[in-house]
Amino acid sequence: MKRAGCLFLAVAPVATAAVFLFGTDSGSEDSQDGKGPRFSASASPGKGAGASSASERAKEDRLIAKLPPGLAAPEKKELAQQIVASAENSTLDWRGQYDYIEDIGDGRGYTAGIIGFTTGTHDLLTLVERYTKSHPDNGLARYLPALRKVDGTGSHKGLDPGFTEDWVQEAQKDEFREAQDTHRDEIYFEPAVRLAKLDGLGTLGQFIYYDAMVLHGPGTGPRGFYGLREAAMAEADTPAEGGKEKAYLDIFLDVRRKAMKHEKPDRDTSRIDTAQRRFLYNANFELDTPLVWQVYGETFRVP
């Protein structure tokens, strides 16, 4: 399996989840400390970065309620998970990844589950903590002390030899699969889609934001999601600001690609070059099927 994503976690409210608990640096794959970005009202990740008032949030909720569901429509959300899985696991079968777990040698410990939760970037720890609150007798609860100790590192201390096997066993349970789904939605999918809608983006733009949130994590540093959005907005107006959707998304993808190459200059960027950029240049703003794209030289199709 090819794993590229590395995520980070926080807690509700959904639109402020990105850094509510963890400040301005999400601990994601490319997130770095730095000045926080400007945000579109309550899409901001926390009070320290300019969160909106309750009235502004309510106003935005009313605006979003009038918009088409976009990527949140069930069939589009399913498609989004398939496209992400093609880049994260070289498969369209994202539901087959609940029990996935391995150390891919990126210095972030174990990568696991449907969206690449990791032991080194806090989100796997918080997933297990939240799951344990509702299911205290689960097979992963006994690893919580070790998970807290290795958080922020690539260490397996206290996890080997049993953690990987116990993860696989726990992932056979519907309850743990639902916990992974909820974790993904609350921390990554819903905030990304919400902010994209506030920026005036259609279904494709909402997916591009979601994939960026997955890969880069919801950090406010220059290589976290919010930092990338800030950099793109410095070069082009969003549709909500009167800009052209294609031009803005093209800049956003340029910024993302640069961030991906920052850590590893020879890194494969096909999830942008021969997937998202292809959808954009085909003007498929609603992410309509059939779709054909390539990742890592492999061709994927959704009829």
- Please give the positions annotated as active site: 88, 106
Q: By the 8 A CB rule, do 270 and 294 touch?
A: yes
Q: Using CA atoms, how far apart are residues 163 and 171, in angstroms rounded to an integer?
A: 12
Contact 187, 17 (CB under 8 A): yes
Q: How far apart are the first and last CA of the chain?
A: 24
Alpha carbon distance 285, 50 (integer Å): 30
Q: Which residues pair with 177 in a beta bridge?
A: none
Structure tokens at 7: 């995520």
Q: What is the DSSP letter of 95?
A: G
Q: From residue 275, give the alpha-carbon distance in Å to each of 122, 137, 293, 299.
A: 29, 42, 5, 10
Q: Which of 29, 1, 189, 187 has its CA nearest to residue 100?
A: 1
Give dist(CA 288, CA 302) in Å, integer.
10
